[in-house]
A and B are shown apart, each in its own frame.
Chain A
């Protein structure tokens, strides 16, 4: 590969009018039903997921079916639109199994034979918001590990599965292929873990004598899981962008209002420069995240690089923005009642999800031939 050539696919890095309309709809839904006090109250209750909110987002707005073609019951949109939904979800840190079910699980199924049988049926259910499916792998798994994940049998324990508590169906990779396992079926146990990120539950999934429907043989399944994890990583960048944007906006708002030494603290140069630096990172993260979403939408051969670049960059930006948000809010930033901690926890957890920045830099090294010593 000659890296110094223009990318084969010229990316469209802007937002379309349709995307902005979708953004408005999602934002106003989340503002109504998932403001910070509601989210904090929710994570302390027994039901982390507001099922009515999910129904409105998934079915009402039709967000769950964005990646699914119309003939399979979806909206026939693309990763570009799904990325906008994730920006807004990142901005509100509302618990919703969007990334895991409507992106990763959906992408895996789309990569399989959707013509007849259980795959098409399950896709239709996911697209309509009737069911939630999650991939039964640890949340930290990068796309590069997809082939290695095709191992073992349906008798197994998997730790750190994101959103498993909300799932109706588990997609389980084994040496024999990929299975759909009914979460409520016999021999299936889902045990909640205490997660760092309170807004995205993790669980240990134990399968003991569970039955499943085989969706694909190991070979094609590995490719499909790889595609699902790649899309997950690529669109996670948009969630990270949303987190960073919220953190910057709230920090600017707070430092304009908070007075110390007879001045708004936001008028001190040392703080202004930190926020200006964050702004630079946020606009750069936007370009990187849009590029990943656009490359995935176009099915560009550049997509793996675009995703690796976006993850290597946006993870860091979200964590930096959330850390600055806590610090520049002063004491209030350390409290439970202020939502800053929710964003810090989500940002830090996201920096591990679907591969750390370091793993994605390794992917970059391979893709552009900058070999290690």
Chain B
């Protein structure tokens, strides 16, 4: 790590702003200049959008730029690229891959999706059956993926596929970068509980991926995927959340503005959830302070669990609070949103969509196992799949 401090970071940020005034600079040009100045993700290496500086300095840059009204790179829209693809490419990619992919990914010119889960391999992800067979300089991929957010807008995908069925499941997987515009990639909307199709099914039929787009060694894709998944779950801890900043804010506002809806039972439940939401906010704040102080704790693995449960309970309460209105739903028309937007829709939508919070990105059951085994050190459950070749597993 370099010795760059907050003052130096501030100086460089002001330099960028002086050379590219946000008011008169094209949005994409500004973002490219920011990447080239190393102010995209300061903890990344020099030349790849970073300055090899401490991660804790990023909020300094973000605050300076926000104060100057500079455009941001719409991190919600490119969340999978930022949170999952980028750290994996940085950790396992070749120099060519890093040069090719990181800048357009960060600027937002290229959106990424993630081709991991399959109809037969969700929580047991390593059981996946999508095959990649070597053919000269290429791999030929056949199989089906599911729950793929953003596949309909993505240019690239991170993909794991089975390259050796004759070894135990974790050892026969390789990790690739898949071009979503290639022949043989078919994206079909998967309509969900809310009526819209935020996810997709992706069918891969004879898709040719050059070996130069493999990440990490053949057969070690599971290890590479661990990097990706760890980063997926560690996304919390960046920004400070204000009090009543999440879903609890919406229901608290309704409570204050509409006294005619209040009942004693709902009051008790609202107060309990208000307290729990405030405590979850403080727990997130404590985790953030630990990261900044360079003492990361294991709390991150629990935060997703807490938020999933809270979102579900709060949105359920909100539907009840609304009474007659809670019986209605805004619109069942099938839509294809680019983003999941909890706050822009009605209570019924929030109630239904939040059911996914305890499933996506690792089910609550699997996360509780991870906490029990890796944080508390409880014994692992007996496993009968560890030494069996993938092809011999029952499915």
Contacts and interface: CB of A to CB of B under 8 A. Distances in A.
A252 B378 contact: yes
A369 interface: yes
B289 interface: yes
B285 A361 contact: no
B243 A12 contact: no
Interface in A238-284: 252, 255-256, 263-264, 266-269, 272-273, 275-277, 279-280, 283-284
Contact of B285 (A256, A275, A287, A372): A287
Interface stretch (B97-105, B127-135, B258-266): B258-266
A14 B282 CA distance: 11
Interface stretch (B22-30, B173-181, B269-277): B269-277
Contacts of B124: none
B39 to A, nearest CB: 25
B382 A6 contact: no
Interface stretch (B57-65, B332-340, B343-351, B364-372): B364-372
A256 B376 CA distance: 10
Interface string B274-287: 11101110110110
Given A256-B379, A284-B280, A373-B267, A361 B243 contact: no
A230 B87 CA distance: 47
Contact of B372 (A275, A287, A362): A275
B256 A369 contact: yes
Given A361-B268, A361-B272, A4 B306 contact: no
A272 B368 contact: yes
B305 interface: yes
B380 interface: yes
A361 B271 contact: yes
Interface in B149-168: none
Contact of B243 (A7, A13, A14): A7
A5 B376 CA distance: 36
Given A7-B243, A13-B282, A373-B264, A267 B379 contact: yes
A309 B281 CA distance: 12
B45 interface: no
A194 interface: no
Contacts of B230: none
A373 B262 CA distance: 5
Contacts of B293: 14
Contacts, number: 143
B283 A371 contact: no
A194 to B, nearest CB: 33
A370 B252 contact: yes
Number of chain A interface residues as a range = 35 or more
B372 A361 contact: no
A218 B180 CA distance: 77
A290 interface: yes
A280 B376 contact: no
A195 interface: no
A268 B381 CA distance: 7
A272 B382 contact: no
Chain B's interface: helix, strand, loop or mixed, by majority? helix
A286 interface: yes
A40 interface: no
B375 interface: yes
A11 B369 contact: no
Interface string A214-249: 000000000000000000000000000000000000
Chain A's interface: helix, strand, loop or mixed, by majority? helix
A3 interface: yes
A258 to B, nearest CB: 11
Contact of B275 (A6, A252, A286, A364): A364
A287 B255 CA distance: 27
Given A276-B372, A364-B274, A12 B289 contact: yes
Nearest to B288: A13
A12 to B, nearest CB: 7
Nearest to A267: B379
A83 interface: no
A6 B368 contact: no
A207 interface: no
B286 A286 contact: yes
B283 A269 contact: no
A372 B264 contact: yes
Contacts of B211: none
A291 interface: yes
A312 interface: yes
A148 B235 CA distance: 49
B326 interface: no
B371 to A, nearest CB: 4
B245 A4 contact: yes
A309 B369 contact: no
A119 B282 CA distance: 37
A13 B305 contact: no
Interface in A114-139: none
Contacts of B93: none
B373 A272 contact: yes
Contacts of A334: none
A341 B255 CA distance: 41
B377 interface: yes
Interface in A316-367: 361-362, 364-365
B31 to A, nearest CB: 28
B290 interface: yes
B286 A275 contact: no
28 contacts: A4-B249, A6-B240, A11-B282, A14-B293, A256-B377, A256-B378, A263-B379, A264-B378, A267-B379, A267-B380, A269-B369, A269-B381, A272-B378, A273-B368, A276-B376, A283-B299, A284-B280, A284-B306, A287-B285, A312-B271, A364-B271, A364-B275, A365-B267, A368-B274, A370-B271, A370-B274, A371-B262, A373-B259
Which 3 pairs from chain A and chain B are nearest by CB? Answer: A272-B372, A373-B262, A267-B379
Given A269-B365, A275-B376, A365-B267, 13 more contacts: A14-B286, A264-B379, A276-B375, A284-B279, A291-B282, A309-B278, A309-B282, A312-B272, A364-B274, A370-B270, A372-B267, A373-B262, A373-B263
